[in-house]
Amino acid sequence: MTDLNAQARDILIRNDRGGYTVPTHGLYPYQWNWDSAFVALGFAEFDRDRAWQEIETLISGQWDDGMIPHIIFHKDDPGYFPGPSVWATGKTPATSGITQPPVLATIVRKLWEDEGADPTHSRMRRLYDACLKSHRWFHVFRDPKANGLVMVTHNWETGRDNSSEWDDALARVDTSNVGDYQRRDTGHVDAAMRPTQNEYDRYVAILQFGRNCGWNHREIADNGPFRMIDVGMSMELLRANRDLLAMAKAMGDAAVIVELEARIALSEKGMDWLWNEEAGAYCSRDATTDQSSGLVTNASFLAFYAGVGNSTQRARLIAALERITGSATYLVPSLEAGSRAYDHKRYWRGPIWLVVSYMVAQGLVEAGHNAWADRICSDSARLIEKSGFYESFSPEDGSGSGGPDFSWTAAMWLAWCS
């Protein structure tokens, strides 16, 4: 146990590039948005200043319109594709042109509360402003149905890059003008654990649409080639708005309190649009065709974390979790076995990701399902004990997949499952 604590700290220290942490050496050599948020929780266990700094460095890349980009390219690294010259956003520091799951406000609130919840805390106040600006960006640019849910315009935004939820929408993306490019990811890890070439071409084509319109977020939202309402980000933004509201209340920020309460009410009501009665779960849905994916993923279980669902819906989600234990030795797989294109080794089509498990478990505790939360926590610890600090893990045999020495996995060990 102690040895794993030391190893986890060592991973964070070795992945530190000076004020920010790379997710893993080689495969992901820059600063990633939601990775950094979770990494801050790990640093907070032994270096609180460094924890705050991780997020402060991240928001140095925030755009004037409020978007917090999914990658900040602090230093160029030829080992990654698509790098800063491919995104060509023209920003300083260089960044990608898309965002990632809005978990920052939730983590800022935790760091702040752990330090006594002082409303004059200057580091919290600065990050509160950045989170508010980012949440407003989501409401302005990413709520096409005006129902408080989150539309993504690239599957990379969801963090669950190649989940089967995106397959139908991706199939409609035109790849005829993608041209030649050299993938780098499959030079770092086994190609069987990464998206296929056909999928990657579609990811690049969506990127090119954004670049060709000069990263005009209105144009991308209205006419982009990929428009999905993501169950994960919708749940995460609702949760993050609740956490931002708690900070707004502590500071007595009256106008923001009114604004956030309205947003929260809208999202709570809107979430039913994602409920799929047949699947008995919240599922991502296409913003263009309205088609529900019908797929039960780990993000479906974020309903508890977001605080949504009536008693019948919640009971069905618990029944789904119970059913999944029949095919998964470890919880919570990113896709239920037997679902479309399930693969226990391939990225987000089955493998377990500890940061999602952490949010799911946190929500289950808050909903009083302590036994389920304990099960997820102890499964997560067993995965690390068995295989080390991998990017993700097979729900069937617990083997590690993706990159090794992964920062957020180390952070989850330190802050949660050890």
Which residues belong to the active site? Answer: 161, 391
Q: Is 292 exposed, middle or buried (0-12, 13-18, 19+ CB in 10 A)?
A: buried
Instruction: For ligand DGY, give the closer residue by CB, 284 or 292.
Output: 284
* 20-59 footprint of ligand DGY as x/- string (CB under 6 A): ----------------------------------------
> How far is Cα 387 from Cα 325, in angstroms, rounded to an integer?
20
Q: For residue 315, which amino acid is it? A: A
Question: CA-CA distances (angstroms) from residue 373 to 224, 359, 383, 413?
Answer: 38, 10, 16, 15
CB of 78 to ligand DGY, least distance (A): 14
Residues 6+ away with beta carbon under 8 Å from 58: 20, 31, 33, 36, 37, 68, 72, 104
340 in helix, strand or coil?
coil
Instruction: For ligand DGY, give the closer residue by CB, 45 or 199.
Output: 199
Q: Which of 50, 70, 121, 345 binds ligand DGY (CB under 6 A)?
A: 70
Q: Is 4 exposed, middle or buried (0-12, 13-18, 19+ CB in 10 A)?
A: middle
CB of 23 to ligand DGY, least distance (A): 9
CB of 274 to ligand DGY, least distance (A): 23
Asked if 63 touches ligand DGY (CB under 6 A), the answer is no
Beta bridge partners of 352: 333, 393
CB of 199 to ligand DGY, least distance (A): 11
* 185-224 footprint of ligand DGY as x/- string (CB under 6 A): x---------------------------------------
326 in helix, strand or coil?
coil
The neighbour count for residue 212, using CB atoms within 10 Å, is 12
> How far is Cα 347 from Cα 162, in angstroms, rounded to an integer?
7
> How far is Cα 211 from Cα 88, in angstroms, rounded to an integer?
7
CB of 159 to ligand DGY, least distance (A): 7
Beta bridge partners of 28: 24
Instruction: For ligand DGY, give the closer residue by CB, 28 or 43.
Output: 28
Ranges within 149-168 binding ligand DGY (CB under 6 A)? 156, 161
Instruction: For ligand DGY, give the closer residue by CB, 156 or 166.
Output: 156
Instruction: For ligand DGY, give the closer residue by CB, 217 or 242.
Output: 217
Residue nearest to ligand DGY (CB): 156
CB of 364 to ligand DGY, least distance (A): 27
Total chain residues near ligand DGY (CB under 6 A): 4
HSE (CB half, 13 Å, CA atoms) of 255?
1
Instruction: For ligand DGY, give the closer residue by CB, 45 or 185.
Output: 185
**Which positions lie near ligand DGY, rule CB under 6 A?**
70, 156, 161, 185
